[in-house]
A and B are shown apart, each in its own frame.
Chain A
């Protein structure tokens, strides 16, 4: 029996520019107790479909044809065509949150910060199940237990800001589940979460699904999630269905070119070192113009370019008041040691809060460090950069540049692309106006954008194009070393492949050195030569990428790797083996890896050029490694 059947659904948007069709004659069905994945890039119309089912379409949207029939297997309601219901009417409200429920992508913003989660979860029960406040509280506690809240009783009165992202998403799931809906729509439920948390949430959705015999419509762009969750897959592109079928059919024998292209664009651990991703829209790099004007980096390839030595960074969490002088500090980096060699790409991976972005910021000198030193080689040997002032600092700024994570907020919306690209040159007083304009044009062609776009503003570009503008800006000053702070995590897989290839080509043609920060292990595996794994402000494992990925020695690295969903039906996640959250608690690691408070995180060379943080072996081992 199909819980949801969508037939020939078309949705139009009426905007100032006229009518545009967001969803075009889409048909699919969600059977009882099954999971259907709706896969597509951003702008493909998958969210519009979910809004249609929930009756949450914005006022400018109109269902122009088709049916969306919901039939509840429990028989609580008659089969009903949602497309014909008034979106704000009582009938639709009775379905929303009761028979159909939704989980959103951003657990940080989808809960009200002013109300306890008990209040927000129980509200749905009060609305639809006709229970009083006390009974709703009881039901909420039951739900929190079902979603494995560590302490359901305390969770009832917690505010969202007191909870971690994973717990918030659990609360969202509890809220969606409390009325035992027939259909759950999960709109990118794990995109904003770390891999280990993602695996837990996926497991939770599966568990709850089997317990409540519920159907799930999983909206995602991540084929790893699809392979692990979906029974059936629907691939959507520009509002049209490209291909649909069971997961086995689609992964083993993709028919449509678009699906094949999407699958080719996903990095996976099985890829050969020489293998390249195939983006849907590849860019060719034209670096000749820039190569001419590049000053030679006088550090030989393979020599240390940047060295981070015993760097410690503490943040003050709360400033002491005039009368209440209590301060709390958090150690964001604990005696971190890294070496970045000229011409390599060093990948830094870890969960949120592991200090990976902090490392990048301290190297950039956007943050001052408390202890240790950061050395940079300008061709005259390594020298400390933490005391650079004035012209010396400007020179360092020219050499070291940053590519940001969010291409939407990192470009000033009130500056044209031309202004954005020439501003670094103006700040450093490089060239005449004509030379700067010429430079902006060659930067545009370098990242595969048309020079005619220079007069446009950032809002007229897509996310991938904006990220390319961000890369062009970072390259404006001919830097030697670029810090990439999760440059692809806000992008679709097809665009991600394009950007990753672009970064690789630029590195090859311009002789760049990268520090590549990411929480996505598959991406780091694809682009990085060596890899650094961080946890809670400490470096726990360093080595050649292949070596670390195929032979992880540290328990944290192992947990991280085992939690990555692979886009392959034969390598599904081992949900049973997940030990909830324990892997990222340094105090719980087995000896010799255990790190208590104040333990110096010594790195030990356990295999050639493969260092692991194992303070228990320190001193006993002959070849100890100071700088990896």
Chain B
């Protein structure tokens, strides 16, 4: 088992390298870069005074080098203008748009993004599991139809609209401030109990909004998976032993139906980050999503590259977690090699 984990982690390194190359390649696909675009704009308006400074910046960030060299310098495997200074050395790059290091631009948003993602995944699982189990065990009952109807509404409602409605209602009912992940008075304040509580209160709306569609989809899938399992022979075997329906359901078919959901953890993360961009913009959430959107629009390549890489790391970790959980939960995966014919 230990060697499996180590092998699995070692395998992540080449995967990361391949992903980083792909990200860099795709971001560099449009012609030019942030600075050449600026130079072109300045030339067009006849201002030539600051062009020299921009040319200096281009050389400073090695944007005048060939493609592979630029990639390796970004990674930190090739000496740039300031020696080895890239991602491996802990330098996340420079954001041209914000005129600050990437770490300063993204830094504060990362923990909040992770907190929000985690809360959303938790919400999706906690809400969809009981409902999915109810729907599957009481197929074609009124409750099943009701949840199915709600689920379709959840899938069909545009997220940002739901977000606006909920923000309005929460503001009217509980006096919660509109937008953001904390009340305005705590912004840029040091962390305190009150600030944390404010963050928690403000998490509710975005979690529900981002999680609704995922919850609805997961209810449908859990219901379908569980319905498949409920008709399998081993369930009848369990029933023939005299197990109560409840214990039977938890011990056998639910365990079997879990596998696809655990395998899904890794896939959920990127979709939550990229899927929540519009919601984050509408709700004015200080997460990575809106920053990514603006950086892609303005070809702020180091910023965009870093965020995409960050999401990729989250995904890989999610995959690792789901693989390890699967191995723990499913003996066929854990002991598959030991099986003899």
Q: Which of A114, A123, A127 has the most CB of B within 10 A?
A: A114
Q: List 30 A-B contacts (CB under 8 A).
A: A88-B245, A93-B244, A95-B242, A96-B240, A97-B243, A98-B242, A102-B240, A109-B232, A109-B234, A110-B233, A110-B234, A110-B236, A110-B237, A111-B234, A112-B234, A112-B237, A113-B256, A113-B331, A114-B255, A114-B330, A115-B252, A116-B331, A120-B237, A123-B238, A123-B243, A161-B331, A161-B339, A317-B341, A321-B7, A323-B7
CB distance from B248 to the nearest CB of A (A): 10
B2 at the interface (CB under 8 A from A): no
A324 at the interface (CB under 8 A from B): yes
Please name 12 further chain A to chain B contacts, defined as beta carbons within 8 Å, in addition to the given A93-B244, A95-B242, sorted by A numbering. Answer: A56-B236, A56-B240, A88-B245, A94-B242, A96-B242, A97-B242, A101-B240, A102-B240, A112-B234, A113-B331, A114-B256, A161-B339
Provide the bound-state CA to CA distance between A175 and B239, in Å: 13
Where the two chains meet, the residues of A that have a C-beta atom closer than 8 Å to any C-beta of B are: 54, 56, 88, 93-98, 101-102, 104, 106, 109-116, 120, 123-124, 127-128, 159, 161-162, 172, 175, 317-318, 321-324, 330, 353
A128 and B332: CB pair below 8 A? Answer: no
B335 at the interface (CB under 8 A from A): yes
CB nearest neighbor in A for B231: A58
Chain B count of residues within 8 A CB distance of the other chain: 30
Give per-residue flags for B51-93: 1 if the beta carbon is below 8 A from chain A beta carbons, else 0: 0000000000000000000000000000000000000000000
B11 at the interface (CB under 8 A from A): yes
Indicate whether A56 sits within 8 Å of B239 (C-beta atoms), given known contacts A88-B245, A112-B256, A159-B331. Answer: yes
B199 at the interface (CB under 8 A from A): no
Q: Which of B238, B241, B340 has the most CB of A within 10 A?
A: B241
A128 and B7: CB pair below 8 A? Answer: no
A114 and B329: CB pair below 8 A? Answer: yes
Provide the bound-state CA to CA distance between A382 and B234, in Å: 51
CB nearest neighbor in B for A108: B233
Give per-residue flags for B236-277: 1 if the beta carbon is below 8 A from chain A beta carbons, else 0: 111111111100000110011000000000000000000000
CB distance from A380 to the nearest CB of B (A): 41
Partner of A106, one of B10, B233, B242: B233
CB nearest neighbor in B for A321: B7
Q: Which of A110, A112, A353 has the most CB of B within 10 A?
A: A112
B190 at the interface (CB under 8 A from A): no
Indicate whether A96 sits within 8 Å of B241 (C-beta atoms), given known contacts A162-B335, A324-B7. Answer: yes
A323 and B11: CB pair below 8 A? Answer: yes
CB distance from A358 to the nearest CB of B (A): 13
B337 at the interface (CB under 8 A from A): yes
| Complex contacts, A96 vs chain B, CB 8 Å | 239-242
Partner of B236, one of A94, A104, A120: A104
Provide the bound-state CA to CA distance between A330 and B340, in Å: 11
Sorted nearest first, the 8 A-B pairs with minimum C-beta distance are A97-B241, A97-B242, A96-B242, A109-B233, A112-B234, A110-B233, A124-B241, A93-B242
CB nearest neighbor in A for B6: A323
| Complex contacts, A330 vs chain B, CB 8 Å | 341
CB nearest neighbor in A for B10: A323
CB distance from B6 to the nearest CB of A (A): 9
A111 and B236: CB pair below 8 A? Answer: no
| B interface SS class | helix
CB distance from A158 to the nearest CB of B (A): 9
| Complex contacts, B172 vs chain A, CB 8 Å | none
A128 and B256: CB pair below 8 A? Answer: no
The B319-341 residues at the A interface (CB cut-off 8 A) are 329-332, 335, 337-341
Provide the bound-state CA to CA distance between A330 and B341, in Å: 10
Q: Which of B236, B240, B252 has the most CB of A within 10 A?
A: B240
CB distance from B230 to the nearest CB of A (A): 12
CB distance from B327 to the nearest CB of A (A): 12
Indicate whether A112 sits within 8 Å of B242 (C-beta atoms), given known contacts A159-B335, A323-B11, A353-B341. Answer: no
| Complex contacts, B255 vs chain A, CB 8 Å | 112, 114-115
Indicate whether A127 sits within 8 Å of B234 (C-beta atoms), given known contacts A114-B255, A323-B11, A324-B7. Answer: no
Give per-residue flags for B208-245: 1 if the beta carbon is below 8 A from chain A beta carbons, else 0: 00000000000000000000000011101111111111
CB nearest neighbor in A for B14: A322
Provide the bound-state CA to CA distance between A559 and B243, in Å: 41
Partner of A123, one of B11, B236, B241: B241
Provide the bound-state CA to CA distance between A322 and B233, in Å: 37
Q: Which of A101, A162, A353 has the most CB of B within 10 A?
A: A162
Provide the bound-state CA to CA distance between A321 and B239, in Å: 41
Indicate whether A97 sits within 8 Å of B252 (C-beta atoms), given known contacts A113-B332, A159-B331. Answer: no
B243 and A127: CB pair below 8 A? Answer: yes
CB distance from A336 to the nearest CB of B (A): 19
Provide the bound-state CA to CA distance between A95 and B240, in Å: 9
| Complex contacts, A113 vs chain B, CB 8 Å | 234, 256, 331-332
| Complex contacts, A124 vs chain B, CB 8 Å | 241-242
Provide the bound-state CA to CA distance between A102 and B236, in Å: 10
CB distance from A15 to the nearest CB of B (A): 14
The B152-204 residues at the A interface (CB cut-off 8 A) are none
Provide the bound-state CA to CA distance between A321 and B336, in Å: 14
CB nearest neighbor in A for B238: A112
Indicate whether A114 sits within 8 Å of B241 (C-beta atoms), given known contacts A56-B236, A353-B341. Answer: no
| Complex contacts, A98 vs chain B, CB 8 Å | 242
CB distance from A239 to the nearest CB of B (A): 21
Provide the bound-state CA to CA distance between A516 and B326, in Å: 42
B241 and A127: CB pair below 8 A? Answer: yes
Indicate whether A114 sits within 8 Å of B237 (C-beta atoms), given known contacts A318-B337, A323-B10. Answer: no
| Complex contacts, B7 vs chain A, CB 8 Å | 321, 323-324
Provide the bound-state CA to CA distance between A97 and B340, in Å: 30
| Complex contacts, B238 vs chain A, CB 8 Å | 112, 123
CB nearest neighbor in A for B252: A112
| Complex contacts, B252 vs chain A, CB 8 Å | 112, 114-115
B237 and A104: CB pair below 8 A? Answer: yes
| Complex contacts, B242 vs chain A, CB 8 Å | 93-98, 124, 127-128
Q: Which of A113, A175, A318, A321 has the most CB of B within 10 A?
A: A113
Provide the bound-state CA to CA distance between A120 and B235, in Å: 12
B233 and A162: CB pair below 8 A? Answer: no
Provide the bound-state CA to CA distance between A128 and B242, in Å: 8
| Complex contacts, B329 vs chain A, CB 8 Å | 114
Provide the bound-state CA to CA distance between A95 and B239, in Å: 11
CB distance from B52 to the nearest CB of A (A): 50
| Complex contacts, A111 vs chain B, CB 8 Å | 234, 237
Provide the bound-state CA to CA distance between A127 and B337, in Å: 33
Q: Which of B233, B245, B251, B252 has the most CB of A within 10 A?
A: B233
| Complex contacts, A353 vs chain B, CB 8 Å | 341
| Complex contacts, B251 vs chain A, CB 8 Å | 115
Provide the bound-state CA to CA distance between A317 and B10, in Å: 24
CB distance from B5 to the nearest CB of A (A): 12
Provide the bound-state CA to CA distance between A93 and B238, in Å: 11
CB distance from A55 to the nearest CB of B (A): 9
Provide the bound-state CA to CA distance between A201 and B244, in Å: 30
Provide the bound-state CA to CA distance between A93 and B236, in Å: 13
| Complex contacts, B239 vs chain A, CB 8 Å | 56, 96
Provide the bound-state CA to CA distance between A380 and B132, in Å: 65
CB distance from A125 to the nearest CB of B (A): 10
| Complex contacts, B233 vs chain A, CB 8 Å | 104, 106, 109-110
| Complex contacts, A56 vs chain B, CB 8 Å | 236, 239-240
CB nearest neighbor in B for A102: B240
| Complex contacts, A88 vs chain B, CB 8 Å | 245
